[in-house]
């Protein structure tokens, strides 16, 4: 994610890309999209990032909409 980009807009664009890819026959699961988002967040979101990565490591369900709200 670029510094000048709003996280909500960025996630919306990723969701659109996910839909286009699905139309081509490849499924990108929600947890894969969440992982992509977490790995590409700016350092200013490190606290949120760390918590969500810990939840994933603990095999907890992490929902895209919850992540979006926290960002």
Confidence check: pLDDT of 12 > 90: yes
Confidence check: pLDDT of 5 > 90: no
| Rg of the Cα atoms in the chain | 12
Q: What is the pLDDT of residue 4?
A: 84
Is the Cβ–Cβ distance between 11 and 68 less than 8 Å? yes
Please indicate, yes or no, whether the overall pTM of this predicted structure exceeds 0.85.
yes
pLDDT tens-digit readout, 14-58: 999 999 999 999 999 999 999 999 999 999 999 999 999 999 999
Concatenated DSSP letters for 40-54? T--GGGHHHHHHHHH
Q: What is the pLDDT of residue 29?
A: 95
Higher pLDDT among residues 26 and 4, named by residue:
26
């Amino acid at each position: 994610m670029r510094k000048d980009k709003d996280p909500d807009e960025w996630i919306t664009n990723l969701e659109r890309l996910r839909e286009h890819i699905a139309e081509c026959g490849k499924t990108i699961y929600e947890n894969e999209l969440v992982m992509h988002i977490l790995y590409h967040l700016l350092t200013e979101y490190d606290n949120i990032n760390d918590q969500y990565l810990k939840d994933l490591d603990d095999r907890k369900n992490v929902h895209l909409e919850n992540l979006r709200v926290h960002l």
